[in-house]
Amino acid sequence: MAALVLVLNAGSSSIKFSVLSAEAKEPLLIAKGQVEGIGAAPRFVARDAEGKTLVDRRWDGAADDPPNDHAEALAVLIDALDSRLGERKIAAIGHRVVHGGPDLAAPVVVDATVMALLEGLVPLAPLHQPHNLAGIRAATAAFPGVPQVACFDTAFHRAKAWVADTFALPPRYYDQGIRRYGFHGLSYEYIASRIAAEDPALGAGRLVVAHLGNGASLCAMANGRCVDTSMGFTALDGVPMGTRCGQIDPGVLIHLMQTEGMDSDALTHMLYHDCGLKGLSGVSQDVREIEAAGTPRAQRALAHFAFRVRREIGALAASLGGLDALVFTAGIGENARALRGQICDGLGVLGVHLDTAANLANAPEISEVGSPVRVLVRGTDEERMIARHTLALLAA
């Protein structure tokens, strides 16, 4: 009987999930979906591996007994899956956890000691970590005795050299854990493994991977290992994102505190929710809606995003000492053809030459034939990466 792995990604008002079967050497997707709008207007959607809808349920007011927290949402999810999994049982549960801190550089089986350590990291990721941990608690209660495995977005970047890991602050702050952690590590790890499987020589080369979605960052890797990344201590750093500003002069924040009386809560809300493409465009954080608006302000927002991503690609190529391939992934990276073109325009100095027709066709390779730097478009799969780690720990 094939073992099943349940992968959970718990956010502030949602639980995304995937169920995978451990077949041969690679986990195979059985179903995926999410319970969203927890505590407000919940909706549960589940689809099979072919994209066929298995469940699409909305709750009609309090009388319909909607899920009000992560534990109740997970109970809804489990009840729906039970009728479809038959005799197959969940052998382990893998969790996406945003922050592993300076010490957790690999997936771990969660116990009381690990949970205490992860609780201590909440101040480093206050908008993500508490919800990740709520998902672990809910799953532990729902599946007593089933191993819970935490996989960290920061872990892939722990291989960086000290010069790429530190800020120019007194050393005591580095010792306290104030470092350039980087995020989206599970996505980068999956892309590294995928490129290595497709083309081992390229996988051993110098890659810049652009994970561009509502959250966006870039990673420089050599021989499949992180050398440098655009995000730093928090997920606010680096390039602009859907609603986050990206890199900003800290003097701006001091100025806002002094002239507008903004406290840490006001700054946090603005920087996480009112900036980035949404703040610049005045339209939305969704690139499709910004492109459709076509206003001068919307066009400037996209131009700024492309400029900052292009600038980061150049900086990361310098960290690598050259570039063999540029890989686009995540929602914007995989789908926003015009914006990819804007990003690549001007990168000829690095050897990036885009094939316009291939880019518009969303081809897997969008660089000109014979271009010194290959430009690829690849889908990422963080859930599969979590399942791989979870099964590897089970086997060990």
CA distance 346 to 353: 9
* DSSP, residue by residue, 219-238: EEEETTEEEEES--SSTTSS
Which position has the token pair 């910004």?
A: 290
Per annotation, catalytic residue among 56, 69, 153, 265: 153
Which position has the token pair 């977005």?
A: 153
* DSSP, residue by residue, 108-155: EE--HHHHHHHHTTGGGSTTTHHHHHHHHHHHHHHSTTS-EEEEESSG
Alpha helices (H) along the chain: 70-85, 112-119, 129-142, 162-165, 171-175, 185-198, 200-203, 250-259, 264-273, 276-281, 287-293, 296-320, 330-335, 337-344, 356-360, 382-395
CA distance 368 to 371: 5
What Å distances lie between residue 278 and 172, 235, 239, 285, 301, CA to CA?
37, 17, 14, 4, 8
153 is catalytic: yes
* CA count, 13 A, side-chain hemisphere, 343: 26
Secondary structure class of 256 (helix, strand, coil): helix
Residue in 118, 204, 99, 115 with CA at minimum distance from that of residue 157:
99
CA distance 378 to 195: 9
What Å distances lie between residue 39 and 32, 78, 122, 133, 273, CA to CA?
21, 18, 22, 17, 20
Q: How far is CA 144 from the centre of its chain?
A: 28
Q: What are phi and psi of 93, to 5 degrees?
A: -125, 125
Task: Give catalytic residues, as residue numbers.
Answer: 153
